Amino acid sequence: MILLRKKGNNKQLNELLNRIQMNFENNYKDAAQMNLKEFEDTLKELEECGKVKGSGRQYYEDKLNYYKEQMKKFTHKDQKPKW
């Protein structure tokens, strides 16, 4: 039996990723962007303290880059009224 493991095992960062994903899926643009900024700041802090290293660090940086790319034009001003 093969068990699939997440490479990121930091509870705090995983919780922030879950919040970003939920807000992103529900189209809560401001909240998703705020969570992304919080995730980026927390990741930097944990890297400086040495609590996120190696493959875990790469996993979280990949997630950060993915969400940054997805949210480039994720603003209310781009939203078109439907009426």
Radius of gyration of the chain (CA): 15
pLDDT (tens digit per residue) in 13-53: 999 999 999 998 998 888 999 999 999 999 999 999 999 98
- pLDDT number for residue 79: 56
50-77: pLDDT as tens digits? 999 888 999 999 999 999 998 887 765 5
Phi-psi region of 46 (alpha: psi -120 to 50; beta: other; left: phi over 0): alpha
- Angle 72-43-4 (CA atoms, 0-180°, nearest 5)? 90
Which DSSP state fits 7? S
Instruction: Tally the C-alpha atoms within 13 A of residue 43's C-alpha that lie toward its C-beta.
Output: 23
Q: What average pLDDT does the structure give for the chain? A: 84
